[in-house]
Every structure is written in C-alpha cells, then in structure tokens.
Amino acid sequence: MSYPIFDTIHSPADLKALPEAQLPALADELRAYLIREVTAHGGHLSSNLGVVELTMALHRVFTTPHDHIIFDVGHQCYVHKLLTGRRDRFPTLRQGGGLSGFTLRSESEHDCFGAGHSSTSISAALGFAQADRIAGSDAYSVAVVGDGAFTGGMIHEALNNCSRHLRLIIIINENEMSISRNTGKFAKNLARLRTSKGYIRTKAATRTFISAIPGLGKPLFNGIRAVKQTIKNMVYGSNYFEDLGLYYLGPVDGHDCAAIENLLREAIAAGQSAIIHVKTQKGRGYAPAEANPGAYHAIPPATKAAPAVNFSAEFGRTLTELAAENPRICAITAAMSDGTGLEPFRAAHPARFFDVGIAEEHAVTFAAGLAAEGMRPVCAIYSTFLQRAYDSIIHDAALQGLPVIFGVDRAGLNAGDGATHHGIFDVAFLGQIPGMTVYTPATFGALRAAMRAALKGEGPAAIRYPNAGESQAVLDAFYGGESAELAPACRTNYSDAGALDAVIVTHGRIADEALAACDELAARGVCCGVILLELIKPFDRAAALIEANLPAGEATVLFLEEEIRAGGMGMLLSDKLRGRPIMQNKRLRILAVDDDFVRRNRDVPIWTAAGVDRAAIVAEILRKEG
C-alpha cells in the first residue's frame, strides 16, 4: 500500500510542519496502516482507530518528551508510537523483543509513564504536573482517558485531588457510554461555536485586552468569567468537572484534528487545569470494527487462530447452566463480560448479572454483600486485575468467611500483553489468605467439577485457569483422552511410582512442558513422572495427595509452576512436605518465575523467557548438587 504523507513523518517535528490541509489524508493513511498491520500481527484495533486525529493533534500542540502525554491503559497508544519514530519496529508489536502493546518507559523517551491497567492516568499526570510545578518547569501533563475509565474509582480520587493552578489537561475520550451533559440543537451549536477558531481568537484577544488594564485587569477578567459561568449554569446547567473547579471545554468532534488543536491551545491559554471532552468512534475507518468494536478490541495474529472453545467460554457456559439450577447464583464482572465468557449468563439471567465497570475492588465487596445475604456470587476477573482488589478479598470476603467464588481468568503467563497482564501473583497472594480454597483445573471437566465443589463450599474459593483451550497431551496423559468431570484432587501419568527417578509436581497449562520434559528425560535414561494438582489449597490436603503418589525410594521432586516463586505453590507445599518420613531421601527443587516480571527482550516462547520451559526442567532434574 502507498502512504505518501505518512512516509514523510519520522518524528513529531515532521507532523508539526505538515500543512493543516493534509491532516485528513494523513489520518486516512494511518488508519490504513493500522488495519493492515494489526490484523496481520494482532493487537488492539478498535481503540486505536478511534484516536488517530486526537493523537495527531496532541503531537502538533505539545512537544514530547518535554511535555508529558499519558494514555490511560496504554492500549490506544499505537498512533503515538508511529508518530514518535517507532514505525520501523511496528511489525514486531506484542512479540518477544518487539514493541510493547502498551506505553513503556524503557522503550522510548516519549513514553513518560507505563500502563496496562485502567484508571491510572489522571493520578500519574497529576504527579507529573505537581513535580513540574515544584521544579518551575513550563511542561504540560496531558492525560488521555476513555470514558469507560470513569467507572474506576481511581479516576475520581485523582479528580478530587486536582489543583486548579497546574499545567494539567485531561482529555476525556467519549467513545462508548454517554457522559455528555448537553443535548439538542442549542447545545450542539454552542459547542461548535466554542471550538471555532474565530471564537477562540476573539476570546484570547478579549482576555489579553482586559488583563492589560493596570490594577483592575485580572480581577475584572476573573469577575467577568464568573458571571459568564453563572449565567451559563442557569441556562443549561453545570457539569461534574466544572463543579470540581476545572475549566471545561467541549464536546468536540474527535475526528476533526483542527478543532481539537483549537481547544488544546485554548486550554493552554486559560492558564489553569482543564478538561477537554472529545467524542470519537471506536473502530473508525474499518467497517467490521465500527459495527462490532468489542470483537476488534483485541485480535489475535492472522496466523494464530484462537481455540474454538477456551476456558473462559467454558466457565461462562457452565455457570449459566448452574444458575438455571440454583436461583441464588449471581455473576459479576468488572467491565469484561465478553472476555470472561459471561455474555451467555447475561442473556439467560439478566437479573442476576452485574457488570460493575472497571471497579474490581467494588466488585469483590459487592459480592461479599450478596453472599452475606444468602446469594452465591461468582466474580470472574482476570488474574492481573484481581490484584487491584486484594484488600477487599481479605477484609470483606475472607475475614468474614463469606462464600464468594473467584473465577481467576488469564492465570499464568500471557505472551502478547506482556508484564502488565501476566497472572503470576495470584497463587501467592490467594494462598496466604486464611480459609481460601484454590482450585487449578487443567481440563474443562476439571473446571466444571471445581465450580460445583466451590459453589457447595462455605467459604471463599478461587478457580484459576489460563487463556487457552484444553491440551490434548494433558487429556491423554491424565484423563484417558476425555475431559472427565472428576473431583478436584491430583492426577498422575504413571501407575508404578517405584520405578521413578524423578517426579514433577505441577498444575495448570504448564503441565504440557512437564510432559515434554519427561519424554526428553526418558531418552536420557531417566524415568520421570508428573503429578498434576487440581487443588492447591488447603495445603495440608494437597501435600497429602502428593505424598500418596511419591516413590518410596530416592528421587528428585521438582515443583514446577509458571507463577512467582516467592510464596508460590512450590515454596508452600515443599514446606508442608519437608520433614515427613517419605521425604528423607528426596531432593526437593522448585522451578518458577524467580523475582522477575518476565519482560520478553528476545523472540522466544514465553516459558523460555520465564526460565520454566522443558530445557530448564530437564537441566534442573539432571542437576546433581543441591
């Protein structure tokens, strides 16, 4: 494809020099490039197609890295990357050693703040703005926030803490839910007037003229502004942001680069913290994404087809069936109903389905309230996002012994999204909570069994599962080839423990690597078996299951996991087993993610990057010392 204008843009300076008349054509080229590359290599498409003109305007008005542009979540930063000198590396997006799918401080000086979770941008931008105020810098801090982020409490905590006298601009990108306070022709015409160049020039000239009057200028101008605001509020009301003392501009068409530039310059001229409200369309320029932006929120590479059914879909299907049997079952999601497989539940049981928005902390305490009143709430939350609700899990659910069930989705390492989305901490932080039961099903049948068991329990329980489908190797090795619904316990791929030289104790998706390592060890004359745990906690029970399946003779026992080592399954269960008679002639080893966030700086499989692949397993078992 041809990109005659985009080919001339190598830095923000080139964009600033571009004639305004060429901006619409550049926007078209950027969209065409995004559609081609993201559909081929995977990534977040809808959100990036929606912010093309907005990102162009930001880089024409501000100068990074001196000024700071902070994207909420960061998944809509692709155009920002393309305009700041990273086009040559863009085909490596979300690949090992390639560009991150989010903003990343170590990747570019233009990425001032890293992100991967929602609702953090205004807090961070406020920090930058206050630091610049203290240092006497004239830099601006700009937070780009999607309207969905306003369902997260941190946004409102930050707004409550905003000072009026900062070089802080908050862009509200309205692309889904309406937060507009103005409707009708009058409001639309007024908004169009307020974003026009003539209006802004006249306003700037009036401000300069009145402020220049000796002695009276600034007080007079502030008085006129206050009277104008009062009259405006009487005619068609104020809004949330103005009530907080912030200067509000907009709404403006988010696909009109010139209009956005005008408002940005007006916000600068106002000399105070400002809110700019833009309206954009997710998926703009790509008909399938315009029609169904959710389906194109994040798409896999064209060469990697998603499994026909994954654990998330099976979780949602099973929960929907169980809810038909039990009217007390409720489902809760934090703005991820599609990703967590709960759309069928929403359709079948709308009165018992709750999407609380990007508010994981609230989701858990809300679930605790439901449980306290006799309901059986099930919270389906990604592992990486469940971290945000840790206090609520302890204080509101576990401490009171309430039967809240957590569907811990995307558990384990997640190659595409990287460090911000790895689910490697949940075993450690859930395992240390008194009364918490932790299930780790490796098949759909085990998932269904775990869900039934958890819903019959009297306290909190977590069921963790990966972003994947069933593994045929696991089904063949432990289930006779079929996904049988058996009680959560442990499985082995051997019948004669006495013949074993080594045993790998593991759980979840990484059992594939354990089985492959056993094959390689067999070729080297080492007889190795695998114990697959599908229940990690209570630890005493899990330890007893392991003990019952260990060889009596001398052997190496390797605990393998794709989670953090500190406080993880291996550390906790080996501690429980140590000192038991059967362990006297055993060499205990742990292979896990060792004090690392697992950032892939080279193009290798994710387990290799984490140091827990089959080669590492074989090397650890063959190691004689220790």
Beta strands in 487-595 (DSSP E): 490-492, 502-506, 528-533, 535-537, 555-564, 586-593
The owner of tokens 């007006």 is 266
89 token code pair = 């590396």
C-alpha–C-alpha distance, residues 287 and 46, integer Å: 10
Task: Write down the catalytic residue from 37, 174, 360, 534.
Answer: 360
3-state DSSP of 338-386: CCCCCHHHHHHCHHHEEECCCCHHHHHHHHHHHHHCCCEEEEEEEHHHH
Q: Which of 466, 298, 299, 454 is nearest to 384 (CA)?
A: 466
User: Annotated catalytic, 388?
Assistant: yes
Cα 527 to Cα 480, 580, 589, 618, distances in angstroms: 21, 23, 17, 12
Residue 109 parent element (H or E): none
**263 and 277 Cβ atoms separated by less than 8 Å:** no
Please count the other Cβ atoms lying within 10 Å of the Cβ belonging to residue 508: 28
Amino acid found at 608: T
C-alpha–C-alpha distance, residues 498 and 32, integer Å: 63
Task: Write down the catalytic residue from 81, 86, 167, 282.
Answer: 282
User: Annotated catalytic, 197?
Assistant: no
Instruction: Work out whether the CA dihedral 421, 344, 447, 449 comes out positive or negative.
Output: positive
| Omega prior to 65 cis, within 30 of 0 | yes
3 state SS of 171 = strand
User: Annotated catalytic, 228?
Assistant: no
153 token code pair = 């409490």
C-alpha–C-alpha distance, residues 567 and 172, integer Å: 40
- Point out which residues pair with 377 in neighbouring strands: 330
The owner of tokens 């029609």 is 291
C-alpha–C-alpha distance, residues 585 and 553, integer Å: 7
132 token code pair = 């610049």
Task: Write down the catalytic residue from 388, 448, 509, 589.
Answer: 388
Residues serving a catalytic function are 282, 360, 388
